[in-house]
Homo-oligomer: A and B are copies of this chain.
């Protein structure tokens, strides 16, 4: 899991349980030159499997599918909080586009012979926990959450698409295409901050919490899904990632996040 490598440099409000888990993984990674999972949970994933039906690809599509479904639900709730009917409709349209993405991934899973429900199930609880921990208190926090969350997710999946087979990579790029959220969020957030500059501090803090919580939840997901880790260590294409590669990737994600916050004039 790429996000682990940067764990010691983390300055966000990461829960203690996640910090401990990350530390344990880092120790593991140093003890074995290339990181590997405890033997007891590895064997099933070491079977020779075709690329497209490998557990890693199913896991990846499963987490992506439930991610889109959850985003659809959260965006719709945000839509109902919109200050104007125009914004309500605009956000509802984005939610509908997210649902269409969910259906695309779901159909792809079915075409691979996988059950979409079973593929999503392991990620329901961690993703719900992420969303429940970070329930926006108002319309602006909702917009920032979508802007920051979509941005990090997109960067992350773009980074790891080099580890996927071509067909999966194409689908992932497609379903992560911007549904108009970014421009919309920037325009509404910038206007709100310009109108009332003192909200910038609260929003900057909220942005840091979002980034920290995403790292923490991604770590917990990785801990429970060895197949996803395997995607990096025995990728279907390209070379296996080293600890240095993973650290570099987390750094790139962090820099991109800072740039996105900077667009709004917010400290990250």
Q: Using CB atoms, name the residue of chain B closest to A121.
A: B85
In the complex, which of the residues B69, B77, B124 contacts A92, with contact meaning CB atoms closer than 8 Å?
A: B69
Residue A163 CB within 8 A of the other chain = no
B96/A117 in contact, CB under 8 A: no
A96 to chain B: which residues have CB within 8 Å? 96, 99-100, 103
A229 to chain B: which residues have CB within 8 Å? none
Residue A79 CB within 8 A of the other chain = yes
In the complex, which of the residues B85, B99, B121, B124 contacts A120, with contact meaning CB atoms closer than 8 Å?
A: B85
Residue interface mask A166-200, B partner, CB < 8 A = 1: 00000000000000000000000000000000000
A114 to chain B, nearest CB (A): 14
A206 to chain B, nearest CB (A): 22
Q: How far is the CA of A100 from the CA of B121 in the complex (A)?
A: 27
A88/B69 in contact, CB under 8 A: yes
B85/A72 in contact, CB under 8 A: no
Residues of A within 8 A of B (CB): 69, 72-73, 76-77, 79-80, 85-86, 88-89, 92, 95-96, 99-100, 102-103, 106, 116-117, 120-121, 124
Given A77-B77, A85-B121, 4 more pairs with CB closer than 8 A: A69-B88, A73-B76, A95-B99, A96-B100
4 smallest A-B Cβ distances: which pairs?
A: A76-B76, A73-B80, A96-B99, A85-B117
